[in-house]
Amino acid sequence: MMTVAAWVIAGYLFGSIPSGYLAVRMLLGKDIRTLGSGNIGATNVTRFAGRKWGVAVALFDMAKGGLVVLAARLFGVQEPLVLALAGFAGVLGHNFPLWLNFKGGKGVATSFGVIFFWNPVPALIGGVAWYLVMKLSKYVSVGSMVSLATVPVWFVLFKGPPAYIWTSAAMAVLAVARHHTNILRLVKREEEPIGS
């Protein structure tokens, strides 16, 4: 139990590093939460700091969740439930960061980073799904929600551990919940498409 608690705490704290907030504060001297959608994630960073910084933030957000899972493995942790909880804690840290009064991002990039270090195959297939759905729908939010929703299916098909199946499903549900404002804008046809 001490080992589980230690990795969950590590996952949450590392996941809480607000890379999008820090990047925009450093580059523009502004609070990303007051700009655009108010989200600290890569999509909103791209709008104001450019694609290069948006990609950098996305990669860091992926890494900060996944590297805790990798670190746990390097320290000898092999139990899928412990790795699942550590990874999910990283996503919660991104979404509800301690340093920003628990108001963070939507957790898509961090979720995919965690999933990649559980098993890269479902993560890569999910990434392809994200790209295709985003291109077809013209909405990043739709690609994000749909792609994460497919990941539990890939874990089932590839006979992944139940802990990964259920935790990736929880990540997908959380991502949909975090996109509630996007869903409302989609219904009202007010969501901004790619390139707008």
Identify whether the C-beta of residue 150 lies closer than 8 Å to the C-beta of residue 125: yes
Number of domains in the chain: 1
Token pair for residue 65? 């969740």
| pLDDT value of residue 179 | 93
CA 161 vs. chain centroid, Å, equals 21
pLDDT in tens, 126-176: 999 999 999 999 999 999 999 999 999 999 999 999 999 999 999 999 999
| pLDDT value of residue 2 | 66
| pLDDT value of residue 192 | 84
| pLDDT value of residue 38 | 84
Is residue 193 situated within a structural domain? no
| pLDDT value of residue 196 | 61
Is residue 178 situated within a structural domain? yes
Q: Which residues contact 101 (CB under 8 A, 6 or more apart)?
A: none
pLDDT in tens, 56-73: 999 999 999 899 999 999
Is residue 164 situated within a structural domain? yes
pLDDT beyond 80 at 1: no
Is residue 196 situated within a structural domain? no
Q: Which of 8, 102, 124, 16 is nearest to 60 (CA)?
A: 16
CA distance 58 to 20: 8
Token pair for residue 8? 């969950």
Going from the C-alpha of 84 to that of each of 4, 54, 78, 110, 140, the distances in angstroms are 10, 27, 10, 13, 26
Q: Which of 79, 66, 73, 67 is nearest to 1 (CA)?
A: 79
Token pair for residue 41? 């994630």
Residue found by looking up tokens 């080992």 in the block: 3
| pLDDT value of residue 43 | 85
pLDDT in tens, 80-139: 999 999 999 999 999 999 999 998 999 999 999 999 999 999 999 999 999 999 999 999
Is residue 86 situated within a structural domain? yes
Is residue 167 situated within a structural domain? yes
Is residue 194 situated within a structural domain? no
Is residue 24 situated within a structural domain? yes
Token pair for residue 47? 């709008």
Provide the domain limits for residue 84: 2-187
